Amino acid sequence: MSGITLGDRSAPRPAGGFSLFLRRWMANPLQMGSVVPSSPALGRRVAALVERQGDEVVVELGAGTGAISRALLAGGVPPERLVVVEIVPEMARHLARSLPGVTVIEGDAFALSEALPAALHGKVGTAICGIPLVLLPTEQQRRFVAAVESVAPGRGFLLYTYCATSPLPYRKLGLTARREAWTPLNLPPASVWRYRPAG
Ligand SMILES: C[S@@+](CC[C@H](N)C(=O)[O-])C[C@H]1O[C@@H](n2cnc3c(N)ncnc32)[C@H](O)[C@@H]1O
């Protein structure tokens, strides 16, 4: 099931959502991957790597409580050009309340071609992954890569991670990999990798 909501422009912004994050981690640690939301420092690193032209959108997959989303907005992505996808309904509702003007999709990133409105297919400048792909088997990672490719052909995606080396077996997945940023100011220290389809 997936639903689309727009951030409520008039609603007051709820605070950080840390307790929601922690509760979801206790409910499903593998789906969350981390016990704490990403830091503003990591958000800034991710925002600095965004590529977007004209009417293209930035799509964030696994937005959680919006730590990276807020950094993307602060970094200059217009709210109407930011689309966030989150599989947990309670978190999607939190995002819709706290991110005015942003398109919030309650849905599964692995079924991105169905979750993302058809009008945005081929209009994705940058896809950003917050889902802990490193914890998944290669076959599921392959499904993720195919899901992104179906809406953003040739563009690849950014992935932030606590791994010192590539969290994905990129050659097996038909990707090139480049570590483009690192910050010690995250708990734990984190890197941002850019993956693109090889050849
Ligand atoms: C590590 S948290 C990242 C949250 C936030 N982006 C941050 O940096 O603080 C991973 C998020 O991905 C979401 N998620 C996991 N699997 C997903 C899927 N298949 N589709 C969409 N979101 C998913 C989880 O519910 C969780 O909110």
The whole-number pLDDT of residue 2 equals 58
- Using the atom order of ligand 1, give the atom closest to the CA of residue 24: 25
- In 10 A of CB 120, how many CB atoms? 16
Dihedral sign, Cα of residue 140, residue 141, residue 143, residue 148: positive
- Using the atom order of ligand 1, give the atom closest to the CA of residue 69: 6
Q: Report the residue count for the chain.
A: 199
The set of residues, in sequence order, having a beta carbon less than 8 Å from that of 23 and lying 6+ positions away, is: none
**How many whole angstroms from 61 Cα to the centroid of ligand 1?**
7
Indicate which residue's Cα is closest to atom 9 of ligand 1: 37
CA quadruple 46, 49, 51, 52: dihedral, nearest 10: 50
Strands 103-106 and 157-161 turn out to be unpaired
Q: Residue 139: exposed, middle, or buried by beta-carbon count in 10 A (0-12, 13-18, 19+)?
A: exposed
Asked whether 58 lines ligand 1 (CB < 6 A), one says no
The set of residues, in sequence order, having a beta carbon less than 8 Å from that of 129 and lying 6+ positions away, is: 61, 62, 109, 144, 148, 157, 158, 159, 160
Domains in the chain, CATH or no CATH each: 4-8+16-197 (3.40.50.150)
Asked whether 87 lines ligand 1 (CB < 6 A), one says yes
Indicate which residue's Cα is closest to atom 23 of ligand 1: 62
The whole-number pLDDT of residue 16 equals 58
Asked whether 105 lines ligand 1 (CB < 6 A), one says no
Predicted TM-score (pTM) of the model is 0.92
**How many whole angstroms from 64 Cα to the centroid of ligand 1?**
5
- In 10 A of CB 95, how many CB atoms? 27
Q: Which residues pair with 77 in a beta bridge?
A: none
Mean pLDDT, each 10-residue run in order, the chain (199 residues): 64 62 79 81 97 97 96 98 97 96 98 97 98 95 98 98 92 97 91 95
Asked whether 64 lines ligand 1 (CB < 6 A), one says yes
Asked whether 109 lines ligand 1 (CB < 6 A), one says yes
**How many whole angstroms from 40 Cα to the centroid of ligand 1?**
17
The whole-number pLDDT of residue 15 equals 47
**Whether residue 153 has a cis bond before it, omega within 30° of 0:** no
Q: How many CA atoms are closer than 13 Å to the CA of 159, on its beta-carbon side?
A: 29
Classify residue 199 by its DSSP letter. -
Q: Which amino acid is at 157?
A: F
- In 10 A of CB 12, how many CB atoms? 8
Best residue among 23, 86, 98, 158 to mutate for probing ligand 1's pocket (most ligand atoms within 8 Å of CB) is: 86
